[in-house]
Amino acid sequence: MNVLLIHQAFASPNEPGGTRHYELARHIAESGYRFTIVASDLSYLTGNKISGSKKLIETEMLGGIRLLRAYTYPSLHRSFVWRILSFVSFMVTSVLAAIRNGSVDVVMGTSPPIFQAVSAWIVSCIQQKPFLLEIRDLWPEFAIDMGVLTQPVLITASRRLERFLYRMADHILVNSPAYREYLIDKGIQKEKISLISNGVDVKMFDPTARGGVLRRQWRVENKFVVTYAGALGLANDIPTILRAAERLKDQQNIHFLLVGDGKEKANLEKMADRMELSNVTFTGSQPKSLMPEVLAASDACLATLQNISMFGTTYPNKVFDYMAAGRPTVLGINGVIRDVIEAACGGVFVPPGNDRLLADAVMMLAENPEKARKMGQCAREYVAVHFDRHEQAESFRRLLMHLK
């Protein structure tokens, strides 16, 4: 079997970002099949070029996976219009890369951004092969609820494109149970939808490790370290974390690490400077391969999103990493991921956007290290049973074989 995935924001273990697709693809490759990924030549988090090549399409091998880096116009972190231009440029070059790759058995597109799913549909039509559509976020609903997409004409066009892709897909894959319910409410047949949730390779993380090297590097050796690891964008509600840190400025033993990059990083750093937050460190983005050590250097972890009802449908990758590392999560997201944390007894929920209660939760864990440790242990045990990446990868392989 030969599978093609078009994914602009694909991240390898040597890059920052979620590696769900790398881990699934590696399993397929190890099963003796061919797996090709068409990805952008720009980092989705930083907007920077990944390689120095000026080729339209560059080919490399990554642990048995064939990776085609397609040119993308470097305007990801500019205005909304320029961001769309970047998406459209990849939509065009990704089709060219897929055609150059040759014939495949299954074409997979993933959304968001939704334009790359259009690319996958076009390639599936050209090759007359099954089109597997993966939904990772509910676009355009998230953009509409956040106020990013406001023009009525664009909203109508986006929703029509969304419905068109749902109809054209031979099968739809989702990574959250709430997305499945959303699609069913849209009139999609249950039999057309498969759930392979976000998860984690638990073996990557050692819950007994303390991350001494990074603790020394970031000068937090004797602190209770609270880490947010992920994108620094509008949706992630980092200002609430900074306001919570401001409330805890007098607690010399508590320190916040913001590990990541994104469109809002510069604004957030200015905000932290205005608030004179000596208890916050922006570490910059770190490759996924370093994430076990980053989380080992942490005593508790943070996951936040804006207080928007649609965000309650998400299964954030970072939370599963936190759980596998054996660290308690302070969760500022109300929805299906709250159900996971509470079922695991693996953290503390606080209402989204409430910096006072976020600060109180961090303080409670800092004052009760044994309770925090027990929460982390429960979280790891739960995620190992219910969200193991190896079992998910095998489910993915079976789905591909069924489509072929």
Q: Is the pLDDT of residue 314 over 90?
A: yes
Residues 264 and 179 in one domain: no
Res 52: pLDDT: 64
72 three-class SS: coil
Radius of gyration of the chain (CA): 21
pLDDT digits over 107-135, tens only?
999 999 899 999 999 999 999 999 999 99
Residues 218 and 195 in one domain: no
Q: What is the arithmetic mean of pLDDT over 314-330?
A: 97
pLDDT digits over 331-340, tens only?
999 999 999 9
pLDDT digits over 170-218, tens only?
999 999 999 999 999 999 999 999 999 999 999 999 999 999 999 999 9
pLDDT digits over 375-390, tens only?
999 999 999 999 999 9
Residues 243 and 345 in one domain: yes
196 three-class SS: coil
Residues 163 and 260 in one domain: no
Res 79: pLDDT: 76
Residues 80 and 226 in one domain: no
DSSP class of residue 200 equals: B
pLDDT digits over 280-306, tens only?
999 999 999 999 999 999 999 999 999
Which residues, other chains included, contact 119 with Cβ-Cβ below 8 Å and sequence gap of 6+?
Answer: 6, 38, 90, 91, 94, 95, 98, 109
The residue range of the domain holding 260 is: 202-386
DSSP class of residue 247 equals: H
Residues 176 and 256 in one domain: no
What mean pLDDT, rounded, does the chain reach?
A: 94
Q: Is the pLDDT of residue 46 over 80?
A: no
Kindly state the percentage of the chain with pLDDT values over 70. 99
pLDDT digits over 4-31, tens only?
999 999 998 988 888 999 999 999 999 9
Residues 179 and 279 in one domain: no
Pairing outcome for strands 106-111 and 2-6: parallel
Where do we find the tokens 């010399």?
252
Residues 195 and 260 in one domain: no
Residues 314 and 363 in one domain: yes
Is the CB of residue 285 less than 8 Å from the CB of residue 318? Answer: no
Q: Is the pLDDT of residue 53 over 70?
A: no
Q: Is the pLDDT of residue 3 over 90?
A: yes
Q: Is the peptide bond before 316 cis (omega within 30 degrees of 0)?
A: no
User: If you write DSSP's letter for every residue of 308-348 in order, what string do you get?
Assistant: -GGGGG---HHHHHHHHTT--EEEE--SHHHHHHHHHT-EE
Q: Is the pLDDT of residue 246 over 90?
A: yes
Residues 308 and 320 in one domain: yes
Where do we find the tokens 């070029």?
49
Domain harbouring 102, CATH code: 3.40.50.2000
The domain tally of the chain equals 2
Residues 290 and 393 in one domain: no
301 three-class SS: strand
Residues 275 and 258 in one domain: yes
pLDDT digits over 56-115, tens only?
888 888 889 999 999 998 887 777 778 889 999 999 999 999 999 999 999 999 999 899
CA distance to 160, 183, 184, per residue, from 189 (Å): 18, 8, 6
